[in-house]
Structure 1
Amino acid sequence: MTSNHTDGSGRAPSNRWQALVQRFPLITFFTLANGISWLVWVPYILSLDGFGVLHFRYPDLLVGNQLTAILPGAYLGPLTAAFTVTAITEGREGLRRWRRRLFQFRAGVAWYAFALLAVPIAVLLGTVAAFGEEAVRVPSIMVLAVYVPMLVLQFFTTGLAEEPGWRDFALSRLQQRHQPMVATFVLGVLWIIWHLPLFLTPWAGPDVTPVTVVRFAIMAMEMSFLITLVYNKGRQSLPLVMLLHCSINNFQSVAFSEFFPGTDDTLLWGPVLGLGTLSVIVIVATKGKLGYTAPVTGPVEVKTRAVA
């Protein structure tokens, strides 16, 4: 007996490695996404910006050196992994479908409003609820002037680097196998793990503690549930998901310290409270379905057929 591995398009593997990828597309994706990103980030971790083993420093560009030190690994990890696995399992037609989804802007206007406003409002309300109205200040008009350009920058950097891989490739396949809550939790854990090496760099701030990592992990998991909702309800629109992702990043990096100028790190638990509350509301309102009502249109998982 022989086993022929094919994907949904009927493509047969030409060698053992292709057969392995077709049989385990998700494992391959997560392995490549983490391995490639971490490998690219190693020089940054060992540079003068990190442990100081390598005697060079990454150059600054616009917002510190994140664009020169972190973005290459972010792009080369999830994006390359999704491209590679899609090419092997679905071929050129699969890559064309994947590219079309990158330009799927059609989604309800309400979901674009949610992506732009829900997270900042949740963060503001959560922080005010936790620390009182006296903690908040009215920011200057310059914040708005910087906020929009930085949102656009985040969209084409963080959003484009991560979401075609994590949500479009991985989430759609996980939801084919598991309930949305389980799929989101699994992806959230793996997404958090992918970020962990960055806590050895200035990306996480000057005074990283275990509490810093735990707080980030909680927020990332909360965001995972919100992103799943928007992905499912917004017709799997990648631009919409990218907008939601960069909305939290942009608000935290550009506006949060202007609204809450206190230097105490405990203020950062406000966003955790706000996003957590919003996530619970979403889960309860959708009865745990997170907007998932039908199988996601996309690649079919690998089948194994025994031939006598």
Structure 2
Amino acid sequence: MSRYTRPNRIVVGIRSHPLTAFFVCSYAVSWLLWVPVVVLGLPPFSAERHAPAFYVLPGIAVGVTGTAFALTAVTQGRAGVRRLLQRLVSWRVGAQWWLVAIVLLPGAAMLVAAALGTPDIVVAFAPASLTAYPAAYIVHFVFGPLFEETGWRGFALPRMQHRFGALRGTFLLGVLWSAWHFFLYVPVWFATGFVDGVTGLAIFVVTTTALTFAFTWLTNNTRASLLLAILMHGSVDGTVTYLQDLAERGVISHEAADQAIGLGQTIACVLLAAVLLVVTRGRLSYPRYAREAEELDLHPGASATGTGDQPLTGAR
């Protein structure tokens, strides 16, 4: 008898606590698949390609995307899976949001780096330099950009905004998204000493959490398009590869590349998050998302007046 009731209890538990189930499963699966990488001391990044090593990809694809689709199927059935797939190809948004996704964060990070004393970074904007950008973008694209967003912005964000509101939900998602990386990155950060480790960890959490506010704002203004979120993620990661490639070729200095990738990116993300919070009064355009897409994400296939808990009043 217990053989039949146990799976039912698991399904009921997942449906009752989908967010907890998502984060537990995504962490557990990703970290389990990364155990050989950490135990063997393999570098998570390829020094030649300036991108994640291919052996970390299963932890990302299965741990995050796989978990998102599996739990969507359990909690929302075929309608939910169909909606998630539709969001991956949702491209009919204003041209300004394409620019935000592709240009805003890399441009801001490089401008901050120039202001901090490495003006040669502007050479990265030159047409001759930009011919190298597509290849750098693609090299990094198949990792975090392509396989993380279905989980963080696809499964988690709608539920976190609905439960906690845009401000608190985004902050919590940013911290949890940051921490998911720790299993791979912490050994690297602390390899050169405790102070370096703590500094690297703190900068990463601040940058990633601040970046999460930009993702929420973009998602809320694009009818929850995962395609645009993927492109924004790709613009951040791809630019890291691009600048490192330019530095290796002597087009820009290594100092300029490091400045843009490090402090420039952190300052740009924090400043953008602060501006968005002030301009949107902490709502991050959640009212627009609630009108245009929230019902589709939380209750796919249901009527516009479908049942379910209502969003937090304060978030509107």
Deviation at 1:156, TM superposition (A): 3.6
Rounded Cα–Cα distance in structure 2 between residues aligned with 1:187 and 1:162: 13
1:218 aligns with one of 206, 210, 218: 206
User: Contact 2:150–2:226 at 8 Å: present in 1 too?
Assistant: yes
Deviation at 1:188, TM superposition (A): 0.4
**Amino acid aligned to 2:236:** I
Mapping of residues 9-48 of structure 1, within 5 Å: 15-48=8-41
TM-score, normalising length from structure 2? 0.80
Deviation at 1:64, TM superposition (A): 6.4
**Gap change, CA 1:113 and 1:153, over 3 Å in 2:** same
Rounded Cα–Cα distance in structure 2 between residues aligned with 1:164 and 1:224: 14
Rounded Cα–Cα distance in structure 1 between residues aligned with 2:93 and 2:109: 24
Partner residue, 2:58: 72
User: Contact 1:78–1:161 at 8 Å: present in 2 too?
Assistant: yes
**Gap change, CA 1:66 and 1:152, over 3 Å in 2:** closer
Rounded Cα–Cα distance in structure 2 between residues aligned with 1:35 and 1:235: 30
CA offsets, 1:128-164, max 9 Å, x none?
A: 33x2255646248664233112323433432121001
Partner residue, 1:288: 282
Rounded Cα–Cα distance in structure 2 between residues aligned with 1:243 and 1:205: 31
Rounded Cα–Cα distance in structure 2 between residues aligned with 1:117 and 1:206: 34
**SS of equivalent residue, structure 2 residue 203:** helix
Task: Identify unmatched segments of 5+ residues in structure 2.
Answer: 1-5, 301-306, 310-316
User: Contact 1:151–1:247 at 8 Å: present in 2 too?
Assistant: yes
Rounded Cα–Cα distance in structure 2 between residues aligned with 1:167 and 1:253: 23
Rounded Cα–Cα distance in structure 2 between residues aligned with 1:290 and 1:183: 11
TM-score, normalising length from structure 1? 0.82
CA offsets, 1:255-288, max 9 Å, x none?
A: 2674552289677222211221122111111111
2:67 aligns with one of 77, 81, 85: 81
Answer 1 or 2: which has greater helix percent.
Answer: 2
User: Contact 1:78–1:165 at 8 Å: present in 2 too?
Assistant: yes
Rounded Cα–Cα distance in structure 2 between residues aligned with 1:119 and 1:241: 12
**SS of equivalent residue, structure 2 residue 131:** helix
Is residue 2:117 matched to residue 1:132? yes
**Amino acid aligned to 2:148:** E
Rounded Cα–Cα distance in structure 2 between residues aligned with 1:198 and 1:290: 31
Larger RCO: 1 or 2 (CA < 8 Å, sep 6+)? 1
Rounded Cα–Cα distance in structure 1 between residues aligned with 2:257 and 2:46: 27
Partner residue, 1:228: 216
**Gap change, CA 1:59 and 1:102, over 3 Å in 2:** closer
Partner residue, 1:103: 89
**Gap change, CA 1:105 and 1:266, over 3 Å in 2:** closer
**Gap change, CA 1:205 and 1:264, over 3 Å in 2:** farther
Aligned length: 283
Q: Percent identity?
A: 29
Q: For the aligned residues, what is the CA RMSD?
A: 3.1
Rounded Cα–Cα distance in structure 2 between residues aligned with 1:180 and 1:248: 22
Task: Identify unmatched segments of 5+ residues in structure 1.
Answer: 1-12, 51-57
